[in-house]
Each structure stands twice: as structure tokens, then as C-alpha cells.
Amino acid sequence: MVTAPPNPSSFAVAVVGAGAAGLSLALALARAGVATALVGRHAPVADGRTVALLDGSVRFLDALDVWRVIAPHASPLAELHIVDDTGSLFRPPPARFVATEIGLEAFGWNVESARLVEGLRAQARAAPNLTLFERDAEGLVAGETEATIGLAAGGTLAARLVVAADGARSKLREAAGIVPRTWSYPQSAITTILAHARPHRDVSTEFHTRQGPFTLVPLPGGQRSSLVWVMGESPAKRVAGLDDDALARAVEHQAQAMLGAMRIDGPRGLVPMRGLSVPSPVAPRLALIGEAAHVFPPIGAQGLNLGLRDAASLRDTVVRAVEEGRDPGSRAALAGFARSRNLDARLRTTAVDALNRSLLASLVPVDALRGLGLLAMTTIGPLRRVVMREGVLPRLGAPSLMR
């Protein structure tokens, strides 16, 4: 591990935030030879959350030499089944999507969030060109040629580009005067890890209910899965308050007993359903990635994968600028990054928001459109394959380390 010097230091890039997005960007830049600082304390929360890393994200982690550490703790998502459980008059038959149809072994791999962050953190501690400041950032002042970050307990550091990877309540975003648009849904998500009597066979199953999606995602071992159960806020609080046996029975009932008897096998969490977007992910000497730039519900495995695409895309932007002798923190250098990330984030946010609101709407025309759309994807091969490929990784402007 490279220790942080006691005096103010200057770097090409300073990444603030020690979550998965910030860690992956700092590692990617350091491996490309860019002098990088990583600012932030690591304190993982045990709330039963996992992340389904889609194929592009796995390629990115493999390029960072992190995937080999995480892979033994991840389970492949070879198939995705969607079941309409809304009771709609236009309820389509269950849909089945298979990764081999688009030439992949799996759409992605599911792993506990804490394991992912620990794997990235271990690599960061040993990476050359990467200095760790295990303190919080307390302010940002953007200057003509560099920005200065204040550190908790004293001290500063300077960088030509500062990256805010400090989450939905980003202090750097606020310091830069970027005002996000925020919204909320009348729902919460229960998260936990389950053991079950029947094998999942690497199949992720998503039930669409009138209160939101209910999703079971495979974990290693064949008979463990993670749960994301979205429902109204009041019912979610009531269900989250059940003891382990009662919660397991409720999950088994909602899953139509498809995996047999259930047992709670990990910590649980209750996650509010909310959204956030920004007018632009860049400001003078600053770029936003991950939840500092966009937040949406835990539906469709898009949140962290979008944040990792932010990281991989910004890595390409910075490396290109450095190789061409340009200032990586200038507006000109960041313009392309801002355009591509705005488009990707807006498309994903719109899709997730539309799906979630369509389940809550209970309107016949909305039900009909949703049912027809799912039916079209299951019966029209070319459309299904396009949707699967774009869901895994957008082809337009894919970052180099994700190809």
C-alpha cells in the first residue's frame, strides 16, 4: 500500500469515495500509469444486498485483475425468467431469456456487495500509482488549473481532476453547486439472502406484482439466492419486522414455492425506493460517477453496472487526454464523457422508472402495453436478442475495458 504523504500533494486525478465505482476507477487509472489519489473510508453495510454484475462489468473487473478474487464467490445468471403476477387481464405467459442465445455463458454474475468492495479494496491497497487517503473529504475549491480538496482532521490535496464517487448525498456535488433532481416512490425494497430446498439452476426469476418486482437471484452453492422484494412502504415495514421463520414463509408463498422451503441465511435490509439525476455529470475540475450522478430503484440490475460504466468511460477519457498531452480536468477533455454518460443514464433511468410505474398504475391500457411488449420480446427472436444485448452492455460507445 502507498501511504499518504503528510503534506499537501498534487495528483493528476483524485477520486473521492471508496465504494465499488470509486475503487474501480482509481484502480483503472493507476494501472494506466496515472498518478491517482483515492479519498474515503471503507465501511461496508451488512444488509443482505448483492449485485448482479453484467458481462461488461465482469470484463472491466477482469481487466483490473480483480475478477479472479471475486469469481469464486459469484454465481452465474444463465437464464432470466419473468413472471407476470399482477392479475392483469393482459397477463402474458412467463418469459424466458437465455444467455447462450447471444453467445454468452451468463448475462452476469451475482455476488454479495461486501465481497465485491473488499476485493477491490485489497487490490487498491497494493496498486502502484495509487495513494490512499483513508479520511473523508470536507470541501472542494476549483481553481484555474487544479482543484483542492480539504481532508477531515486537517490537510489538503490537489488534483487536475476530482471525481465525486461519494454517493447519493455527495458533498462534492453540493460544493460544486450542482443541484440534482430527486424523486421518490411509495415503495421500499426488502433485501436478504435465502437458502432453499430446490436448486436454482443458475436462473434468476422476477415476478412482476402490483406492488413492484419480486426478484430471486442465484448465489453460489446451487441452493442459495438473494432477494429483492419491492412493495408499498407500509407493507414493507410490516414484512421486514417479521421473525426469520415468518419472513421465510412469506417469501416462499410469494415465490409460488418454486424453490421449495425457504430459510433466511443472511442479514436483511429495508431500502427506500428513490431516484436522482443531475443536469450534467461534470463541473469545473469535477466529474460525477455512480450514485453521485444517478440513483434509481434496485430493478433490472442497472444501478451499479451503470456506475461501473461511468468509471470505465472516465478512465478512457482521462487516459486519452494524458496520452495526447491535454489537461484531463478541462471542460474540453470532459465534454465527450458528459454527453455519453448523460445519454446512458437517462435511457436506463427512463426504462426502470417506466417499468416500476407501470406495475403500480393498474390501468388497462398500461397493462396491455406492458404485456404486449413482453410478449413481443419472447416471440420475436431478433427483437429479443437486441434487448438482451443492450441490457447487458450498450453497444454504442462501450468503454474499452468492457468490450
- Return the domain boundaries, the chain: 9-49+113-181+276-360
Q: Which has the closest alpha carbon to 399: 61, 8, 79, 38? A: 61
Instruction: Write the DSSP assignment of 339-393 as a string of letters.
Output: HHHHHHHHHHHHHHHHHHHHHHH--HHHHHHHHHHHHHHHH-HHHHHHHHHHHH-
Q: Return the pLDDT at 310.
A: 98
The pLDDT, as a whole number, for residue 4 is: 43
- Flag whether the pTM goes above 0.75: yes
Give me 80's grid cell: 432470466
How far is it, in rounded angstroms, from Cα 107 to Cα 104? 7
Q: Is the pLDDT of residue 339 over 90?
A: yes
User: How confident is the model over 130-170, as pLDDT tens digits?
Assistant: 999 999 998 899 999 999 999 998 899 999 999 999 999 99
Q: Which CATH number fits domain 9-49+113-181+276-360: 3.40.50.300, 3.50.50.60, 3.40.1390.20, 3.40.718.10?
A: 3.50.50.60
Residues 112 and 286: their CA atoms lie apart, in Å, by 30
What mean pLDDT comes out for the span 166-185? 96
pLDDT digits (tens, 9 = 90+) for 25-73: 999 999 999 999 999 987 666 667 899 999 999 999 999 999 999 999 9
Radius of gyration of the chain (CA): 21
Q: Which pLDDT score is estimated for 2?
A: 38
With 50 as the cut, is the pLDDT of residue 336 above it?
yes
pLDDT of residue 44: 63
91-95, 334-338, 357-361, 385-389: range with lowest mean pLDDT: 357-361
* Three-state secondary structure readout of 141-155: EECCCCEEEEECCCC
